[in-house]
Amino acid sequence: MKFPIHIERTEVSHLHEVDFNQLQFGKWYSDHMFVAEWRHGRWVDCHIIPFGNLPFSPASSALHYGQIIFEGMKAFRGPDGTPLLFRPEMNRLRFNLSAERMGMPTVPEALWHDALNELIWLDRRWIPQQEGASLYVRPFMFATDRFIGIRPTEFFKFIIITSPAGLYYSRPVKVLTMEHYVRAFPGGVGYAKAAGNYGATMLPLREALQQGYDQVLWLDGIERRYVQEIGTMNVFFVIDETVLTPELDGTILEGVTRDSLITLLKDKGIRVEERKIDINELIQAGREGRLQDAFGTGTAASVVAISEIRHRQNTVQLPPVEERSWWKQLKAELDGIKYGTRPDPYGWRVPVQSKLVAAVLN
């Protein structure tokens, strides 16, 4: 192994404490986690250790200046029990894009691959069997320099934790625009999975929830007119049999689910337009009965139908979800590829393979 991993196995597994029929997103964490350190320009001290609290200095620069990035991916249990990942290389590339934007070191392919595979293999019994459930995998990195001054940092931790998770949304979502808040603007960090992007949305999200909505539908930061994305999802609309989604302009996250759906749609010969989408165009199409479907896409939620869009005083009600085939078909196809119940002509499904854990511990 290029990055030798030392494994310390837990003495007490918590697996039996989990009620796999009542999984909530982010409530349980599996027995182990992966931790590596960036010191003197190299990734060193790679460990898989029992999940637990971490010691670090209260002067760590991540705590003060938010130099933190993360990824979100899932491991699925295939029909024969094999743990499966979905396009894990896409997450590595995006993690490294985020790292570069935030002035952090990148993670080489070998480190990413071995850390993910060995950790998931070791905790493979934590991958739920229940329909629609999976093991959520959260790689993240933060600066650990013990220094309260703003300067480029030199010390980082790269960690992966995993969490058995059920469906993120069990019903369609209602979204509203908020013109007095902005999530991202050109030249900013909207395309990065930087922690601050999410921290800054907590207040708007709370206000949205108070108004009876599930998420904010973000508008662009300049004209407050063009749709960007929803909370932790990219967004798609179907108007006159054409599928529309905001273009990748540096302000939205380049979703793995987004890319996968565009590929599926184009391969069916369906017209997909990646472009600026004016919120007024959506309202108008809704009024004229031409807005056939709207849905959010993301690793956590897969594909989730939108039932209502509100912008200022305008409310657009989408047709009842049972009458909409677009989101449902796409979700079934994508989930089928992920769970190994449908053919995967794209090679997106990657079986988890272990050299170390399989050879040494099992």
Q: Is 229 in the site for ligand PLP (CB under 6 A)?
A: yes
- How near is the Cβ of 317 to ligand PLP at its closest, in Å? 24
- How near is the Cβ of 64 to ligand PLP at its closest, in Å? 23
The CB-side HSE value for 110 (13 A sphere, CA atoms) comes to 8
- How near is the Cβ of 253 to ligand PLP at its closest, in Å? 4
**DSSP secondary structure, 218-273, as one string:** EE-TTTS-BEEEETTBEEEEEETTEEEEE---SSS---HHHHHHHHHHHHTT--EE
Q: Closer to ligand PLP at the Cβ: 123 or 229?
A: 229
- How near is the Cβ of 163 to ligand PLP at its closest, in Å? 15
Stretch that binds ligand PLP, among 58-66, 126-134, 249-257, 327-335 (CB under 6 A): 249-257
Q: Which of 185, 174, 311, 164 is nearest to 231 (CA)?
A: 174
Q: Interhelix angle for 88-101 vs 109-122, to 10°?
A: 130
How many residues are listed for the chain in this entry? Answer: 362
Query: Which of 20, 45, 51, 72 is close enough to bind ligand PLP by CB under 6 A?
Result: 72
Q: Which two tokens stand for residue 32?
A: 């182990």
Exposed, middle or buried: residue 258 (CB in 10 Å: 0-12, 13-18, 19+)?
A: buried
Query: Which of 67, 251, 257, 354 is close enough to bind ligand PLP by CB under 6 A?
Result: 257
Q: Closer to ligand PLP at the Cβ: 128 or 255?
A: 255
Stretch that binds ligand PLP, among 20-28, 152-160, 227-235, 240-248 (CB under 6 A): 227-235
Q: Which of 257, 260, 332 is nearest to 300 (CA)?
A: 257
Q: Is 30 in the site for ligand PLP (CB under 6 A)?
A: no
Long-range contacts of 329-335 (CB under 8 A, 24+ apart): 330/261, 330/264, 330/265, 330/295, 330/303, 331/302, 331/303, 333/264, 334/257, 334/260, 334/261, 334/264, 334/302, 334/303, 335/132, 335/302
Q: Closer to ligand PLP at the Cβ: 232 or 354?
A: 232
Task: Please answer whether residues 120 and 163 qualify as being in contact, where contact means their C-beta atoms are separated by less than 8 angstroms.
Answer: no
Alpha helices (runs of H) in the chain, residue ranges in sequence order: 61-65, 88-101, 109-122, 195-199, 202-210, 256-267, 279-287, 326-339, 356-360
- How near is the Cβ of 325 to ligand PLP at its closest, in Å? 21
- How near is the Cβ of 298 to ligand PLP at its closest, in Å? 3
Stretch that binds ligand PLP, among 9-17, 48-56, 229-237, 278-286 (CB under 6 A): 229-237
Q: Is 118 in the site for ligand PLP (CB under 6 A)?
A: no
Q: Which residues, 296 to 335, sit near ligand PLP by CB under 6 A?
A: 297-299
- How near is the Cβ of 147 to ligand PLP at its closest, in Å? 29
Q: Closer to ligand PLP at the Cβ: 256 or 318?
A: 256
End-to-end, the C-alpha distance of the chain in Å comes to 18
Letter for the amino acid at 347?
A: G
Q: Closer to ligand PLP at the Cβ: 175 or 357?
A: 175
8-state DSSP, 124: G
User: Measured in whole angstroms, how far is the alpha carbon of residue 312 from the centre of its chain?
Assistant: 29
Stretch that binds ligand PLP, among 136-144, 228-236, 240-248, 280-288 (CB under 6 A): 228-236
Query: Which of 221, 246, 255, 286 is close enough to bind ligand PLP by CB under 6 A?
Result: 255
Backbone angles phi, psi at 270, to 5 degrees: -85, 140
Q: Is 233 in the site for ligand PLP (CB under 6 A)?
A: yes
Query: Which of 77, 92, 174, 258 is close enough to bind ligand PLP by CB under 6 A?
Result: 258
Q: Closer to ligand PLP at the Cβ: 72 or 340?
A: 72
Backbone angles phi, psi at 253, to 5 degrees: -75, 135
Q: Is 87 in the site for ligand PLP (CB under 6 A)?
A: no
- Binding residues for ligand PLP, per CB under 6 A? 72, 229, 232-234, 253, 255-258, 297-299
